[in-house]
Amino acid sequence: MKETLFQAAKEYVEALEKIEKTTDPRIMTLIEAAQIYTDLVNLEKEIPEQEFRAKDQANALRTKYHELLMIKMKEEGISFSDRFDAANKAFHLSLTLRQSMTVPPNLPVLTMPCLKT
């Protein structure tokens, strides 16, 4: 299971790095930023400690998307008291969206911890 999860994590980080290098003129939405941020938080928890390079990459991307998330929240008029409150609200946004989506039975979905609001 860990090998498969690690491979998925590595591919996810590589995909995000490719996305960041594109010149697509579309702007990321708050929901997209929240989903990516929460996925990166969960991904980082699943990477084994000995895979320090992958953990560092995931951490760097998570930090970057956390900053982007807070900018998007401010733009949308969503207030937060600190970075932890912003992260909590990101998990709530992402969880709410995922619960409203219909996911094909063979498509894996990352589970997210419930955070108190």
What would the DSSP string read from start to end of 56-78?
HHHHHHHHHHHHHHHHHHHHTT-
Mean pLDDT of 46-52: 85
For residue 57, what are the contacts with CB-CB under 8 A and spacing of at least 6?
13, 17
The stretch 39-67 carries a mean pLDDT of 86
The confidence score (pLDDT) of residue 79 equals 92
State pLDDT tens for residues 82-113: 999 999 998 888 887 777 765 444 444 444 34
**Residue 33: burial class (beta carbons within 10 Å; 0-12, 13-18, 19+):** buried
